[in-house]
Amino acid sequence: MKYALFDCDGTLLDSMPMWINLATDVMASYGVDLPREAERETASMSHEDAAKFYADTFLNGVGAEELAKKFSATLEENYSERLALKPHVREVLDALRERGVPMAVASSTDAYLLEMCLKRLGLRDYFLFVQTVDNSGHSKNSDAYFKLACEKLGCAPENVLFFDDALYALERARKNGLVTVAVQDDTQMDHDAEIHAAGNYYINDFSEIKIDEWFAE
């Protein structure tokens, strides 16, 4: 049996533009035109650390805690009300479910955000579990993260098709023996050649998934 493991942001959800503009939009609500170099400096920070950096550097009278709450509220609004699926995702998930393919989510986004979004979209019951960095205790860029996902699926890595748009995740999953499907996303075009190479397969959108071939018994 083959199993399907999906990243969420940029793979199932058309959410990467929101993430890219998150800090700019939040800071604009305080009248700050955020420099791109500041966004690059905070790219690997937690929301709490980024909020402290932005508050200390650009804001007077606004504390890091207040700013972190603003970031969280903006994310919650997007995941609970706005974010939509990428093209053809629902049809493919329906087809895989009908075929009896076990499916799960493997993401770095906080679990509560994904849970509320997937429930709103009527898709939570499609997945056996939603594994994230915060509920697994492992970075997505770690061997332990993917080993845990395979253990929870109850199968060998070579029986898992892992779908993701991010280069680091595809490389890490492939290193751990999963079959990788690189998913094109417009926000990742600077790394498209490397992403293409990191996938056992490459798709521009979900309509290119070869269900009968890739999920054959």
**Residue 97 shares a structural domain with residue 157:** yes
Per-residue pLDDT band for 42 (boundaries 50, 70, 90) equals confident
Given this model, what pLDDT does residue 191 score? 87
Among residues 82, 116, 132, the one where a domain terminates is 82
**Residue 45 shares a structural domain with residue 58:** yes
| Mean pLDDT, residues 74-84 taken together | 96
**Residue 44 shares a structural domain with residue 91:** no
Q: Give the number of residues written for the chain.
A: 217
Among residues 44, 67, 82, the one where a domain terminates is 82
**Residue 98 shares a structural domain with residue 60:** no
pLDDT tens digit string along 174-189?
999 999 999 999 988 8
Which amino acid, one-letter code, is at 76?
E
Given this model, what pLDDT does residue 189 score? 85
Closest CA to 162 of 173, 147, 151, 152: 173
Among residues 61, 82, 103, the one where a domain terminates is 82
CATH (domain of 163): 3.40.50.1000
Which of 51-65, 73-87, 128-142, 169-183 is predicted with the least confidence, judged by mean pLDDT? 51-65
**Residue 155 shares a structural domain with residue 175:** yes
| Mean pLDDT, residues 1-14 taken together | 97
Q: pTM above 0.85? A: yes
**Residue 170 shares a structural domain with residue 132:** yes
> Residue by residue, what is the 3-state secondary structure of the chain?
CCEEEECCECCCECCHHHHHHHHHHHHHCCCCCCCHHHHHHCCCCCHHHHHHHHHHHHCCCCCHHHHHHHHHHHHHHHHHHHCCECCCHHHHHHHHHHHCCCEEEECCCCHHHHHHHHHHCCCHHHCCCEECHHHHCCCCCCHHHHHHHHHHHCCCHHHEEEEECCHHHHHHHHHCCCEEEEECCHHHHHHHHHHHHHCCEEECCHHHCCHHHHCCC
**Residue 116 shares a structural domain with residue 60:** no
**Residue 94 shares a structural domain with residue 200:** yes
- Write out the residue range of the structural domain in which residue 65 sits: 16-82
**Residue 200 shares a structural domain with residue 112:** yes
Q: How many separate domains does the chain show? A: 2
**Residue 50 shares a structural domain with residue 128:** no
**Residue 130 shares a structural domain with residue 200:** yes
pLDDT tens digit string along 98-151?
999 999 999 999 999 999 999 999 999 999 999 999 999 999 999 999 999 999
